[in-house]
Amino acid sequence: MAAIRIENLRKGFGSLEVLKGINLDIADGEFVCFLGPSGCGKSTLLRSIAGLEELDSGSIRLGDRDITDLRSAKRDIAMVFQNYALYPHMNVRKNLSFGLALNGMKRDEIDRRVNNAADILRISELLNRKPRQLSGGQRQRVAIGRAIVREPKLFLLDEPLSNLDAGLRVTMRVELAALHERLGVTMIYVTHDQVEAMTLSDRVVVLDRGKVSQFGTPLELFYQPANLFVAGFIGSPRMNFVTANVVRQDRSELTLSGGGLARDLTLETLSSAVIAKDKPVTIGIRPDKLELVSPEEAHLIGDVRLVERLGTESHVHIGLENGADMTAVVRGTHPVSNRERIHLRIPAEHCHLFDADGKAIARALDTETQMLINQEKSKRVA
Amino acid sequence: MDMTYAGAEAKVARRKRSAIARYAAPYLFISPWILGFLFFTLGPLVFSLTMSFYDWPVVGERTFVGLDNYRSMLFDDPQFWESLWITVKFAAIYVPFNIIMSFLLALMLHNITFASGFFRTAFYLPSVISGVALVTIWSWIYSKEYGLLNFMLSLVGIDGPNWLGDPNLAIVAIIIASLWGLGGTMLILLTGLKAIPKELYEAATVSGVPGWAQMLFITLPMLGPMLLFTFITSIISAFQQLTIALLLTKGGPLGSTYFFAMYIYDNAFKYFDMGYAAAGSWVMFIIVLALSLGVMRWSAAWVYYEGEVRQNDGEGHA
C-alpha cells in the first residue's frame, strides 16, 4: 500500500522552470487529480513521479521507499498515456503481456493477470485483435488494462479520456471511478477538464504556473477557493470579479464601495485583521448567485450583451458601466433580452473576498455547505 | 427581343466552353508528366522490348529473330552467367550492409542532440555528389602508391594491398565505394525513426522493458515499411551497379568486377548489338521484379502497416 509524499520538487527545461517547488502528501488509496490550464506543469509533475523526467531537486517517496532516483520500472507504478501508446503491431493480449513476459514472469501468472484485467475491463473477446481494429473506447480500456496487469502500487493517468468523444468520456469516467473503487489503489489523474476532476477525485491539486495553487476536496475548491486563480478556474461559467475598496471596517464587518459597485456592500469575514483602505479588494460572485433586482437595490448596473438559452437555465452576458464583463445565470424562461439595461444585487452571504494579492479573505459558509464539505473530508479519511 | 436571344446564345456558348474547360483542365495540368511518361518511360520500354526480339545492329539491316537473343544468352553465353553471379555476390553483401549501416547511422543521428543538423548533412552529402566525381575521389583513395587508404594503413604499420588490382579485393573496394552513398537510405530510416511515437518507448520503460527489447520489439517492427522499401530499392540499385565499376575497375581485374549491367552496356556500346543488350535489360528487369515480388510476399510476415483500414470504429474517434 502506498501513500505519496513529494517534497520541494523542482524541474526545469533549459532556462524555463516548469515546476517551482511542489509539496504534496497524497494518502494511500486516494484518487487525486492534477488540474490546471495548459502549460501549468501538471503533466511534467506526473511524468516526474513516473520517472520519465529527471528532477532538478526535491524528493518523491512512495510508501516507505524513496523513489526519487529509482528507475521508472522499479518504482512499482503503471502509467496510462493520453494517446494510449498501444503497440500497434501487437494484438491486445501481447500488448497486455509484453512488459510482464520480458521481466521473466511465468506463463501461468501472465495468463492469470491478463485474463483478470480483460475480465475487469470487459475486453476478453478483443484479446486477439490489433489496436487498429478497436474503437477509441476499447483502446483506452486496453491501455488501462496494461496498467492493471502490472498490479502496481500507484496508477498514473495522463489525460486518458481527452481523445474520446463527449458521450464516451462520460461512460469511461464512470468506469474509472468504479475501477478505483474495485482496486483500491492510489491513482493520480492529470486533466484540464474540471468536470472530470470534480467528479472523479477525492482531492484535487490545482496547479498554476508550476506551483500548487490549492490542494483540497472538490467542494472545498468550489466553495472555499484559496485565491483568485482557483476561484476563476473552478466552476463554469466562471466566477465574476468586481473590484472595490474597503471604506469602513468594524472588526470583522467590512463595508465596500467604489470600483465596480453602484451601491455599498456590507459583509462579514472570519477575521478581524485590518485591511488596508488604499488597496482594492476583489469581490467574487458565482453567476448563479447574482440576483436581478430593481434599480434602487442594485450593486451592479450594466447592459445585456448576449443571452445564451440552454433550456433549464440561461447565461446572460453583461457589460458593466465601468467596462467590466459579467455573467449571470437565470432560469431558462426568464424574459431578459439583448441590449436591455440590467440591475444586479450581490447577496453578501454568497460572495467571496480576495485581498490585493489575490488571496482569499476567509468567510463563513452556510451550515449546509459546511456540512457537505466536512462529509467529503471525513469520507476521504475513512 | 433580338438582343435577348443573342444574349441567351452567348450564355449557352459560354456554358459549353466552361464545361470543356472543366473536364479538360485536370488533364491539361498533368499533361507535362503524362507526355514525359509516354515519351521517356513507356515509349523506350516498349521500344526496348521490341528491340529484344531483333538482331539490331546500330548500323545495317535489322532482322526479327524471335526469342533467339534470350536463348543464346541463357544457354550459350558463359559471360552472362558469370556477370550475373558477380552481381548476385555484390548484392548479397551490399544490400544487408547498406541497410544495417544506414540503420545504425540513422539511430545515431536520431539520438544525438548536439549538432544533429550538421551530422545529418555531413552523412547525406556523399549522396548528392555525382557518380563520376565520387569515383574519381575513390580512385585516389584506393591508389596503391599514393592512395589515402594505404597511407592511413601505413601509419599503423600495415602495408596496404593493391585494392583495385587484386581480383578478390576489387569487389570489396566497389562495395565500400557504393556504401559511401547510403545517405538516402539513412534519411528514409531516420524519418521512420522520428515517426515512432515516443510514448511507445515511455510505456515500455515504465513497464520495465529493457532497451534491447525495445529495439527488437518496438523500433524494428515499427520501421517495417521503411526497411522493406529500402530493402527493395537496395536490391534494385545493386543490380543496376555500373558507374563505379565502369570507371574504377572497368570490370577487371580478370573480370572480377564485371557486373551484369556492364555486360549489357558492353553488348550495346562496345559490340553494338542493341537487340542482345535489350534482351539483357529485360532479363535483369524480370530478375529484379521476381526478387521484389518475393521480398514483398515474404514481408507480409514481418511488416506492419499503420494505415490499414480499421474495422469496428463506430465508437469514439481517436
pLDDT band at A327 (very low <50, low <70, confident <90, very high): very high
Average pLDDT over residues B63-72: 86
Indicate whether this complex's ipTM tops 0.85: no
Looking at residue B307, its pLDDT comes to 58
Q: Do B203 and A85 make contact, defined as CB atoms within 8 angstroms?
A: yes
Q: Write out the three cell numbers for B172.
A: 570489396
Looking at residue B3, its pLDDT comes to 52
Site from A87, A173, A175 to mutate, B interface, most B CB atoms within 10 angstroms:
A87
**What element of type H or E holds B63?**
strand B63-64
For residue B128, pLDDT beyond 90: no
Looking at residue A308, its pLDDT comes to 94
**What is the pLDDT of chain A when averaged over all its residues?**
90
What is the per-residue pLDDT across A339-368, written as a single tens digit (0 to 9) for each?
999 999 999 889 999 998 999 988 888 888
Residue % of chain A over a pLDDT of 70:
99
- Closest CB to A99: pick one of B208, B308, B316: B208
Residue % of chain B over a pLDDT of 70:
94
From A33, A44, A139, A126, select the one nearest A86 (Cα to Cα): A139
What is the per-residue pLDDT across B2-47, written as a single tens digit (0 to 9) for each?
556 667 777 777 777 777 778 888 888 899 999 999 999 999 999 9
In the CATH scheme, what is the code of domain B70-299? 1.10.3720.10
For residue A250, pLDDT beyond 60: yes
Whose cell is 475513512? That residue is A382
Residue of B nearest to A49 (CA): B206
Average pLDDT over residues A234-257: 89
Q: Do B210 and A102 make contact, defined as CB atoms within 8 angstroms?
A: yes
Average pLDDT over residues A122-126: 89
What is the per-residue pLDDT across A268-285, written as a single tens digit (0 to 9) for each?
888 877 777 778 899 999
How many A×B Cβ pairs under 8 Å? 101
For residue B83, pLDDT beyond 80: yes
Measured from the Cβ of residue A46, the count of other Cβ atoms closer than 10 Å reads 20
Residues from chain B contacting residue A89 (CB–CB below 8 Å):
221-222, 224, 304
Average pLDDT over residues A57-78: 91
Average pLDDT over residues A201-223: 93
Instruction: Report, in this order, helix, strand and coil percent for chain B, each rounded to 5.
Output: 75, 0, 25
In order, the DSSP letters of B64-120 are E-TTHHHHHHHHH-HHHHHHHHHHHHHHHHHHHHHHHHHHHHHHHHHH--SSHHHHH
Whose cell is 486516494? That residue is A30
Measured from the Cβ of residue A67, the count of other Cβ atoms closer than 10 Å reads 21
- Please report the domains of chain A, with CATH numbers, ordered by start residue: 4-232 (3.40.50.300), 237-364 (2.40.50.140)
Residue of B nearest to A150 (CA): B207
What sections of B249-314 are H helices per DSSP? Answer: 260-269, 274-299
Q: With an 8 Å Cβ cutoff, is B208 touching chain A?
A: yes
Residues from chain A contacting residue B200 (CB–CB below 8 Å):
85, 87
Please check whether residue A46 is in contact with residue A156, taking contact to mean a CB–CB distance below 8 angstroms.
Answer: yes
Give the alpha-carbon dihedral of A38, A42, A45, A47, to 10 degrees: -70
Looking at residue B315, its pLDDT comes to 39
State the Cα–Cα distance between residues A325 and A303, nearest whole angstrom: 10
Q: Do A73 and B205 make contact, defined as CB atoms within 8 angstroms?
A: yes
Looking at residue A61, its pLDDT comes to 93
Q: With an 8 Å Cβ cutoff, is B310 touching chain A?
A: yes
Looking at residue A170, its pLDDT comes to 87
Looking at residue A382, its pLDDT comes to 55
Residue % of chain A over a pLDDT of 90:
57
The DSSP code for A361 is P
Average pLDDT over residues B218-226: 91
State the Cα–Cα distance between residues A24 and A7, nearest whole angstrom: 7
Looking at residue A1, its pLDDT comes to 54
Residue of B nearest to A146 (CA): B207
State the Cα–Cα distance between residues A265 and A253, nearest whole angstrom: 11
From B171, B18, B181, select the one nearest B90 (Cα to Cα): B171
Looking at residue B117, its pLDDT comes to 84
Locate the domains of chain B by residue range: 2-51, 70-299
Average pLDDT over residues B282-307: 87
A343 burial type by CB count under 10 A (0-12 exposed, 13-18 middle, 19+ buried): middle
Q: Which stretches does DSSP call E strand in chain A?
A: 4-13, 16-26, 31-35, 57-62, 65-66, 77-80, 154-158, 186-191, 203-208, 211-216, 240-250, 253-257, 265-268, 281-285, 291-292, 300-309, 313-320, 325-331, 341-345, 352-354
Looking at residue B2, its pLDDT comes to 53
Looking at residue B318, its pLDDT comes to 34
For residue A92, pLDDT beyond 70: yes
Average pLDDT over residues B151-160: 82
Looking at residue B168, its pLDDT comes to 84
Looking at residue B242, its pLDDT comes to 85
Whose cell is 515500455? That residue is B204
Residues from chain B contacting residue A73 (CB–CB below 8 Å):
205-209
For residue B91, pLDDT beyond 90: yes
What is the per-residue pLDDT across B228-249, written as a single tens digit (0 to 9) for each?
999 999 999 999 888 888 888 8
State the Cα–Cα distance between residues B122 and B109, nearest whole angstrom: 11
For residue A242, pLDDT beyond 80: yes
Q: Write out the three cell numbers for A362.
A: 476567509
pLDDT band at B314 (very low <50, low <70, confident <90, very high): very low
For residue A186, pLDDT beyond 80: yes
